[in-house]
Amino acid sequence: QVQLQESGPGLLKPSQTLSLTCSVSGGSISSGAYYWSWIRQHPGKGLEWIAYIHSSGSTYYNPSVKSRVTISMDTSNDQFSLKLASVTAADTAVYYCVRERLPDWYFDVWGRGTLVTVSS
């Protein structure tokens, strides 16, 4: 059974860069059958999809954060990562790493989420 686990700092100051890593266990990130995404949830709010990466190297970013975000993957360690530059308090959220199944197009495996707080 595939499991995802987020890791990274929980507290950042404004203008810093958020860096999160998702470790995939029980399966290979190199499988072409999935997109690997980051989704965030602001406190008490809804869900916002941020970006995906595929084993082919293809990526796509939400225009709302495109200028600040980079997604990458390390197939040798079955990990993928998110970097979000120039964070502000508006980036405070729970960040989830998620697997999207192709070609059925649904998020079927979610990490437990990690809370990132941006505060001076």
Partner 1 sequence: EVVMTQSPATLSVSPGESATLSCRASHPVNSNLVWYQQRPGQAPRLLIYGASSRATDIPARFSGSGSGTEFTLTISSLQSEDFAVYYCQQSNNWPRTFGQGTKVEIK
List, in sequence order, every residue forming a beta bridge with 94; answer none if it has no partner: 41, 115
**CA distances (Å), origin 87, targets 58, 66, 68, 70:** 25, 13, 9, 13
Nearer to partner 1, 14 or 47 (CB): 47
- Binding region for partner 1 (CB under 8 A) out of 12-20, 24-32, 83-91, 104-112: 104-112
First to last CA, the chain: 40
**Contacts (CB under 8 A) with partner 1, residues 2-41:** 37
Secondary structure (3-state) at 22:
strand
Nearer to partner 1, 15 or 42 (CB): 42
- Binding region for partner 1 (CB under 8 A) out of 11-19, 20-28, 73-81, 100-108: 100-108
| Contact flag: residue 60 with partner 1 (CB under 8 A) | yes
Residue 18 identity (one-letter amino acid): L
Q: How far is the CB of 85 from partner 1 (least distance, A)?
A: 19
Q: Write the DSSP symbol of residue 67.
A: T
The tokens describing 5, both together, are: 């686990």
- Name which position in 32, 90, 106, 119 contacts partner 1 (CB under 8 A): 106
| Contact flag: residue 57 with partner 1 (CB under 8 A) | no
